Amino acid sequence: MRLIIRILISTIAVLVADLLLRGVHAEDFKTGLLVAIVLGVLNAVVRPILVLLTLPVTVVTLGLFVLVINAAMVMLAARIVPGFTVNGFWWALLFSVVMWAVQSVLLKLDGGEQRAR
């Protein structure tokens, strides 16, 4: 049940980011749901490998390179999901920041962080 709630929260975050950012477009709710699922899978499978491979750069940049990895995951999701477009790296970076902020607020309202402990 918690997985379904997190996917729905991620979907809402994708749709809110779509509303706020001109350079990001998701066609409808179904596309937003698919983007949330694809980003979840990419963040679970590909992102840890990239973080490990780029660890020296991440350490030198004091962790800021992780933002580049997040933007890369968003751009990869845009290539995979039909109906989801991102107009460049900076829009992908802003999308990941907005999505993080919306997810944080919604998870705090849901109380998901307290239940996990």
Tens digits of per-residue pLDDT, 83-101?
Answer: 999 999 999 999 999 999 9
Assessment of whether the complete model's pTM goes beyond 0.85: yes
CA 84 distance to own-chain centroid: 13
User: Is 10 domain-assigned?
Assistant: no
Q: What angle is formed at CA 27 by the lines to CA 1 and CA 86, rounded to 5 degrees?
A: 100
81 within some domain: yes
pLDDT score at 113: 54
Asked, for residue 51, whether it belongs to a domain, the answer is: yes
| Domain membership flag for residue 23 | no
Dihedral (CA of 69, 70, 73, 78) sign: negative
Query: Could you read off the pLDDT of 13-26 as tens digits, one per residue?
Result: 999 999 999 999 99
Q: Which amino acid is present at 75?
A: M
Burial (CB count <10 Å: 0-12, 13-18, 19+), residue 34: buried
Residue 62 lies in a domain: yes
